[in-house]
Structure 1
Amino acid sequence: MDPDETTTQDYVTQVTVNYTGSYENVTSIPDNHSNSSYSEQLLLDFNAEIFHRRLPNTILISVMMILGVIGNFVVLYVYFTRLNRKNVERYFVPFLAVVDFAACVIGPTFSLLENVYAVIFPSNLLCKTMWYTTSLSSGLSISVLSIIAINRYLKLCRPHGRQLTVYHKRMFMAAMFTIVTLILIPMVFFVELQYIDLVYKNEHVLGITCAPHNPRQTLGETIYFGCMFGVISIIIIITAGLYTAVGKVVFERLRKTRKGSVPSSIQPSPRFVRNNKVGNDRKDSVASVLSATNNVLQESKSQLDIRKKSSVNGVLNEDSSILDTRKESAMNGQALQLPRSTNGAYRQYRMNFYIMFLTIFVCNTISFVPSMIYLFLHEHDLYFFFRHDDAVLNIHLTMQRLYVTNHVLNPFIYGYFDITFRKHVIDTFRRVPPSPTTVRQVSSGT
């Protein structure tokens, strides 16, 4: 494993670090340094000690990997076997789950490789591949969340404006995947194995690590990483702004709901309000709900046909889909299931999805920002993770890899906010097949 002398002199930096955490400035490897200092056994012993020091982080990453893989697999299994895939509220859930599943496999695997082969990383190709795929999975996750933010913002804050149709969503997803895939390609050329000169048992040891650091960093590399940080920061800020607007509307509607306002899913049309002068008095709320619902069900046949044609073209939104299903049920003589109270079951259903995606974004930001900061520190300091004592080292490693937490938490966030999804997960583990009644309720969005 001994690199040749010329290559070593090209890569060795001006800092030598020993395993206890102290470091001293040197200009080169001492001339009286014997070849035995670079022996494979000494390097292996040093690597084993580093692995032992990083063991708490290794255990934590392993547990997160197991939870993330199982959780996202359950999400995909339940979605494709038990849930109604035409439910537009869950349109982005499988895409996000696939990205999270990949991230929970790739990210922790790379972290474990860095812990196991801290100073003897085995392959330059493996180094480049892991950095690229890890960055790709995280980049796709952020991009999906930004598209979700745009979609939710238009639906909630601009309900009467232009909306994202299924076609638009597919095009956005395809464009996002292509752009992220291409923009990360230069990273393959900038990331490579790096030699680090360390001191172990009073002997100089030349280790090999995988890091986004190049002592001969070019201007192009500096510009690239700077632009990457800038683009990611802009995406996070814009997405945060959209979700802030969504959050204000969501919590305002929840506040009104607690006061007993009529659910938005069965609000009367403006013409009905003018003709019938529906009162806002809470004493008449039940009568208003029933009257508004009857008015909706009596919409003209031409309007119903327009909505059905729109659904064929993939431009049907959530409200029209739910109303059409309810109208068809009424026409077939089936009982219409009204909310049990004026709080509105369907409104609460939709609010849960808004809050769910808002929570996912908050968790993503909180977990991703520290990882970006540590990437910046590591990119400018190759020895950053070799100069701390055990406790501080594991804290730094955990913060650097905190981005994995977001991919692990998403399935549990689904289960908390999506009651129907949670019920199907429980039924799956109980091996209880979904009843026809449950399927009809899911398809109607209740």
Structure 2
Amino acid sequence: MSFSNESHNYIYLKELNNAMIKLLIPNTVLLFAFLITSLAGNGLVLYVYTLKLKSKTDDRYFIPCLAFVDIITCSTGASFLISLNFNPLNFRNDLICKLIWSLNHSIALISGMLLLAIALQRYIKVSRLLNSSMTLRSKRLTITAIIIGSIIISVPCLFFYGEAEVPLKNKNRTITGYNCGAVPNVNRNLLLAYSVTLLLISLSGIFALITLYSVILSIIYKKESVRKRNNYRQNVNVQHGLGNTNNTDGSTYTDAESYSTNMDSTTTSNQQQTNEGKPTIKENKPTVPAGIRIRWKSKTFRILCRIMHKHRFFIMFFLIAILSCISYLPRFALMITGSVISNFWYELTDVEYFIALCFYRGYLLNTAVNPVIYLVFDTDFRSSCKQLCCSDR
């Protein structure tokens, strides 16, 4: 009778496992897409930045490091998650589960801290601190400290996660499934404290990133304003020999704006002469469309366009940081929810479970999108990729 019960339990567990595999097919396909895209894109980034690009500028130092971390993140994370999708209720390897959880946490921390190091490097360079750049020795020490710190923070995963028993109800009896997650006998208060600590570290990093990039943008904006004002004065001095090019309100204009202003002044003068009884002079209408003149008169818009063109690396790293923050926050939020509610994942409906799982694993999207951002903003990288494509033909 005992053998018969075990046999029925095994068959029922296998049926549930197969049903879960079918439910997770879209997620599995998505993980395969992330894996292939990330390996191809970041592999290309590593190849081009380390072997093809001759200009080893200070701006590009951390890009190969970040690409290598993205490769490890996606290759280990996606492969492990795909294996989980094929054994959602019958995963029976405690050691691999512990190692993968620890590795995923440490790699995620390394990626986030690298983004923070990149922001700090941009701040040092823009604000002209420490000879305008980080030395090669300081960069290497920074990377080493990031790796060691991330590993230390991830060590508790070895004790909190592993092969977990999952109670599955079958009509009047309960059978046991197995999954990779928080172990049942772990202290829930300690697990919650660890999850909250990770969330606080993440929020602190996000706040630091926002602060640094806000300060950087402020410095760049001020410098571009001063440079634009000086360039305008030099152009006016060369063309007209005038020493003072400031308006009464302290604002400056480009040549197109001066043209527009002069035309408006001529029109106003002609109207005044007509009102005084003098012969009417044909009104000169400006040939520049009104919409364009309004845009040119926006000082902020002009300076921001110049920043977009001149400071491409700043915009590139800023976008990478924003996407990373957006992709990781749902993961930490669901981790805390799972720490507070022990059976959170198993009380969800099929649709709710699928949606929550996509958000939980959505951090892998960041690893696949980063190469596209490099391609858009780094013209040298884009040119090298075009040369590779042409050479293949």
Please state which band the TM-score falls in when normalised by the shorter chain.
0.7 to 0.9
**Amino acid in structure 2 at the alignment position of 1:280:** R
Label 1:38 to 1:205 Cα distance change in 2 as closer, same or farther (>3 A): farther
User: Secondary structure of 2:187's partner?
Assistant: coil
Equivalent residues, number:
330
Preserved contact between residue 162 and residue 180 of structure 2 (Cα < 8 Å): yes
Q: How does 1:410-425 map to 2 (within 5 A)?
A: 410-425=370-385
**Amino acid in structure 1 at the alignment position of 2:233:** N
- Paired residue for 1:170, among 140, 144, 148? 140
Deviations 1:176-218 (A, max 9, x none): 1111112211211121211111124665321011113545416
- Paired residue for 1:187, among 137, 157, 163? 157
- Paired residue for 1:120, among 72, 83, 90? 90
User: Secondary structure of 1:127's partner?
Assistant: helix
Q: What's the CA shift for 1:354? A: 0.5
Aligned pair 1:261/2:224, yes or no? no
Unaligned runs of 5+ in 1: 1-31, 268-277, 288-342, 434-446
For residues 421 and 184 of structure 1, the distance between their equivalents in structure 2, rounded to whole angstroms, comes to 34
Q: What's the CA shift for 1:223? A: 3.7
Aligned to 1:366: 326
Task: Give the TM-score taking structure 2 as reference length.
Answer: 0.75
- Paired residue for 1:354, among 293, 311, 314? 314
Aligned to 1:243: 213
Q: What's the CA shift for 1:59? A: 1.2
Preserved contact between residue 153 and residue 242 of structure 1 (Cα < 8 Å): yes
User: Secondary structure of 1:209's partner?
Assistant: strand
For residues 253 and 359 of structure 1, the distance between their equivalents in structure 2, rounded to whole angstroms, comes to 22
User: Secondary structure of 1:431's partner?
Assistant: helix
Aligned pair 1:377/2:337, yes or no? yes
- Paired residue for 2:30, among 55, 60, 84? 60
Aligned to 1:405: 365
For residues 160 and 218 of structure 1, the distance between their equivalents in structure 2, rounded to whole angstroms, comes to 46
Aligned pair 1:280/2:233, yes or no? yes
For residues 214 and 204 of structure 1, the distance between their equivalents in structure 2, rounded to whole angstroms, comes to 16
Aligned to 2:262: none
| Structure with greater contact order relative to length (CA < 8 Å, sep ≥ 6) | 1
RMSD between aligned residues: 3.2
**Amino acid in structure 1 at the alignment position of 2:93:** S
**Amino acid in structure 2 at the alignment position of 1:146:** L
Deviations 1:10-54 (A, max 9, x none): xxxxxxxxxxxxxxxxxxxxxx9x834763222111101011111
Deviations 1:236-290 (A, max 9, x none): 2212211222234446667x59xx938xxxx9xxxxxxxxxx8725445899xxx
For residues 427 and 125 of structure 1, the distance between their equivalents in structure 2, rounded to whole angstroms, comes to 45
Q: What's the CA shift for 1:355? A: 0.4
Aligned to 2:128: 159
Per mean C-alpha deviation after superposition, the further-off stretch among 200-209 and 181-190 is 200-209
**Amino acid in structure 1 at the alignment position of 2:314:** Y
Label 1:63 to 1:362 Cα distance change in 2 as closer, same or farther (>3 A): same
Aligned to 2:347: 387
Aligned pair 1:87/2:57, yes or no? yes
**Amino acid in structure 2 at the alignment position of 1:261:** K
Deviations 1:79-133 (A, max 9, x none): 1221026221101111000001111101112221222111101200111011111
For residues 13 and 371 of structure 2, the distance between their equivalents in structure 1, rounded to whole angstroms, comes to 41
Label 1:366 to 1:348 Cα distance change in 2 as closer, same or farther (>3 A): closer
Label 1:411 to 1:286 Cα distance change in 2 as closer, same or farther (>3 A): farther
For residues 85 and 408 of structure 1, the distance between their equivalents in structure 2, rounded to whole angstroms, comes to 25
Per mean C-alpha deviation after superposition, the further-off stretch among 245-254 and 42-51 is 245-254
For residues 360 and 247 of structure 1, the distance between their equivalents in structure 2, rounded to whole angstroms, comes to 16
User: Secondary structure of 2:134's partner?
Assistant: coil
Preserved contact between residue 193 and residue 210 of structure 1 (Cα < 8 Å): yes
Preserved contact between residue 213 and residue 379 of structure 1 (Cα < 8 Å): no
For residues 432 and 83 of structure 1, the distance between their equivalents in structure 2, rounded to whole angstroms, comes to 18
**Amino acid in structure 1 at the alignment position of 2:365:** T
Aligned to 1:431: 391
**Amino acid in structure 2 at the alignment position of 1:387:** E
Preserved contact between residue 136 and residue 181 of structure 1 (Cα < 8 Å): yes
Label 1:191 to 1:165 Cα distance change in 2 as closer, same or farther (>3 A): same
Q: How does 1:287-298 map to 2 (within 5 A)?
A: none
User: Secondary structure of 1:39's partner?
Assistant: helix
Aligned to 1:297: none
Preserved contact between residue 194 and residue 213 of structure 1 (Cα < 8 Å): yes
User: Secondary structure of 2:311's partner?
Assistant: helix
Label 1:172 to 1:410 Cα distance change in 2 as closer, same or farther (>3 A): same
Preserved contact between residue 38 and residue 206 of structure 1 (Cα < 8 Å): no
Preserved contact between residue 345 and residue 353 of structure 2 (Cα < 8 Å): yes
Preserved contact between residue 37 and residue 204 of structure 1 (Cα < 8 Å): no
User: Secondary structure of 2:177's partner?
Assistant: strand
Aligned pair 1:77/2:60, yes or no? no
Label 1:77 to 1:160 Cα distance change in 2 as closer, same or farther (>3 A): closer
Label 1:381 to 1:81 Cα distance change in 2 as closer, same or farther (>3 A): same
Task: Give the TM-score taking structure 1 as reference length.
Answer: 0.67
Q: What's the CA shift for 1:397? A: 0.9
User: Secondary structure of 1:261's partner?
Assistant: helix
Unaligned runs of 5+ in 2: 241-302
Aligned to 1:309: none
Q: How does 1:206-245 map to 2 (within 5 A)?
A: 206-217=176-187, 220-245=190-215
Label 1:367 to 1:241 Cα distance change in 2 as closer, same or farther (>3 A): same
**Greater share of helix:** 2
Aligned to 1:129: 99
Identity across the alignment (%)? 25
**Amino acid in structure 2 at the alignment position of 1:358:** F
Aligned to 1:147: 117
Q: What's the CA shift for 1:375? A: 1.5
For residues 35 and 285 of structure 1, the distance between their equivalents in structure 2, rounded to whole angstroms, comes to 96
User: Secondary structure of 2:176's partner?
Assistant: strand
